[in-house]
Amino acid sequence: MTVPQLGGALTLNGRDSKVHVLGYAVGKYSLQYSSAEIFTWQSVPGRTVLIVYGGPGERHELAFAGVLPVNTVEGSGVQTAHRGDATILNWQTSATRRVVQVNHEVFVYLLDRNSAYTYWVLDLPRTSSSNYTVKDINANTVIVRAGYLMRTASISGSTLALTGDLNATVPFEVIATGTTRVHKVTFNGKGLETAEGQCGRMESTLIYNTPTPSIPNLLGLRWKYVDSLPEIQLDYDDSAWIAANLSFTYNTYRNLSTPMSLYSSDYGFHTGSLIYRGHFIATGSESTLTLWTQGGSAYGHSAWVGDDFIGSWTGIDAASNCKFNHTLPTLTAGRPYVLTVLIDHMGNDENWPAGDSGFKNPRGIMDYSLAGHKQADVSWKLTGNLGGEAYIDKTRGPLNEGAMFAERQGFHLPSPPSSSWASRSPATGISSAGVGFFSASFPLDMPSGYDIPLAFAFENTTVSATMGASAHYRVQLFVNGYQFGKLVSNIGPQTVFRVPEGILNYHGTNYVALTLWSQDAGGARVANLSLVATAFVQTGLQRVQLSPMPPYTYRAGAY
């Protein structure tokens, strides 16, 4: 046979897929075919419900085996006919629901795809742990039309108890309840006034009430500030740092181009930012420093000699490494100097082709040359997250911290020793190349009975702190000690970072911290940072338990 039999044509739209069934059992009935997709069905003695759907405006057709009486009980526009030993329904999908009664006991709901999103099939609690069977589906599920989200269903006596979420006032229907006859319905613990609708449905309305939460102005908080790149200060002591003294590498993927390995993973640093300090005695003939660094796609680096900023590779999305020439100031012959290089480690590569070894690509300094010197004239030290593989914060895990001073000290954790820090907002920022650390606390008291997802949203206007020009900067966001975002001003568009309830304390005090890394000599500032609600959902969700949030404690041996 050719489908559709009653006229029209089937359509497969671009980027679409469909499942057409043949010989499909619906209880004691059989569908010879259906071009509309099966949403669900339920069959109990004396009553069968079948729900099908299709894309907006599409022509669809289904056929039951057998010559059966047909009656459209809701809506219009459904063609019906008998051809041979088949009962055929043919219709054009629309937002208006149609219900067709077949053989007096089968109710076929014809929906469009968007309407189908508001229908829910909910499992009732079971005492058995065995696999589901068709009998289980019929007896142990309910079908309801209820809007945004339905979570759970249970039946006690003749009362159906439902929990779910609303984002608008919506019509509500109980379409099928298995083998149990239901007379009362509750939603999120409150009774519903129901009326009997067509086809044996129970009908009501779920009322949505808009909440009015109080969300703090983040840039209006009392921010504290501390320098997070003291390594460029002339009197900085790196005696506790790890010396880069391996004349070989454990990495079998790329051979060394330097006398000693500068691959971070050779020294146990596999994640987060990296800082290198190279000591040398000046000859006075130094003019350039060429650095080949590698940090993964969209990474960047900045470099200093002493406390003089000598430039940054600000990064592009497609580049995982770069050879960059830095012009040096005039150095005094015979005087000791230190090169400081901060590298953003964006994570190890993934293996795109099967069997590739790209994940072995090292991170750190691949090669370098200092004009007027042999490579061996520079002795290097490095650091990443405090402790490396023996990372300190076992709660938040090994990917949470990097090499920046504030992270090594644990200042990104709640309740740091900030009383002596300067008062400064990230909106003020920093006035030169380097890293500033900003922290503040704020309360939340979100209304009960609502799920209100929150996000930290940056305004990425790339404004310099001092010169008013565009700026290149990188920001890490910590919320209650957990790193939840990285903003790279010249690469994006990642400016909104969602933080779930449980990391955010919706009924208490929260701690937020930022590292602001300016890659330009003129510094940078955060133009705007706001806490925004991305939805207002009335919910039956139980109160979310907080993730563990151990606060700051002094870290012995932190440098």
Convert the pLDDT of each residue in 54-109 to its tens digit. 999 999 999 999 999 999 999 999 999 999 999 999 999 999 999 999 999 999 99
Given a contact cutoff of 8 angstroms between Cβ atoms, the answer to whether 238 and 381 are in contact is: yes
Given a contact cutoff of 8 angstroms between Cβ atoms, the answer to whether 55 and 93 are in contact is: yes
Predicted pLDDT of residue 200: 85
Tokens of 24: 């499909």
pLDDT of residue 155 exceeding 90, the answer is yes
Predicted pLDDT of residue 145: 97
Predicted pLDDT of residue 465: 54
The CATH number of the structural domain formed by 218-228+407-539 is: 2.60.120.260
Predicted pLDDT of residue 461: 65
Looking at per-residue pLDDT, the higher value among 138 and 286 belongs to 286
Predicted pLDDT of residue 333: 97
Predicted pLDDT of residue 352: 82
Distance CA 242, CA 250 (A): 17
pLDDT of residue 510 exceeding 70, the answer is yes
Predicted pLDDT of residue 131: 67
Task: Count the residues in the chain.
Answer: 559
Distance CA 413, CA 555 (A): 12
Range from 180-189, 242-251, 288-297, 469-478 carrying the lowest mean pLDDT: 469-478
Same fold: 21-116 with 141-206: no
The whole-model pTM stands at 0.88
pLDDT of residue 285 exceeding 70, the answer is yes
> Region 125-154: what's the mean pLDDT?
80
> Region 263-281: what's the mean pLDDT?
97
Percent of the chain whose pLDDT exceeds 90 = 89
Predicted pLDDT of residue 353: 83
pLDDT class for 355, splitting at 50, 70, 90?
confident
Percent of the chain whose pLDDT exceeds 70 = 96
> Region 444-458: what's the mean pLDDT?
96
Got the DSSP string for 195-251?
Answer: EE-GGG-EEEEEPP---------GGGS--EEEES-GGGSTT---TTSEE---SS-S-
> Region 320-329: what's the mean pLDDT?
97
Given a contact cutoff of 8 angstroms between Cβ atoms, the answer to whether 338 and 282 are in contact is: no
Tokens of 485: 């975002």
- Fold adopted by 21-116: beta-galactosidase, domain 2 (2.102.20)
Predicted pLDDT of residue 466: 55
**Average pLDDT taken over every residue of the chain:** 94
> Region 180-196: what's the mean pLDDT?
94
pLDDT of residue 133 exceeding 80, the answer is no
Domain range annotation of the chain: 21-116, 141-206, 218-228+407-539, 230-383
The CATH number of the structural domain formed by 141-206 is: 2.60.390.10
Given a contact cutoff of 8 angstroms between Cβ atoms, the answer to whether 515 and 272 are in contact is: no
Residue type, 287: S
pLDDT class for 132, splitting at 50, 70, 90?
low
Residue 376, classed as helix, strand or coil, is helix
Predicted pLDDT of residue 128: 65
pLDDT of residue 463 exceeding 90, the answer is no
Distance CA 358, CA 253 (A): 8
Predicted pLDDT of residue 199: 83
- Domain at 230-383, CATH from 1.10.599.10, 2.60.120.260, 3.40.190.10, 3.30.420.610: 2.60.120.260
Predicted pLDDT of residue 166: 97
pLDDT of residue 137 exceeding 70, the answer is no
Q: Which residues of 132-141 are buried (b: 16+ CB within 10 A; e: fewer)?
A: eeeebbbbbb
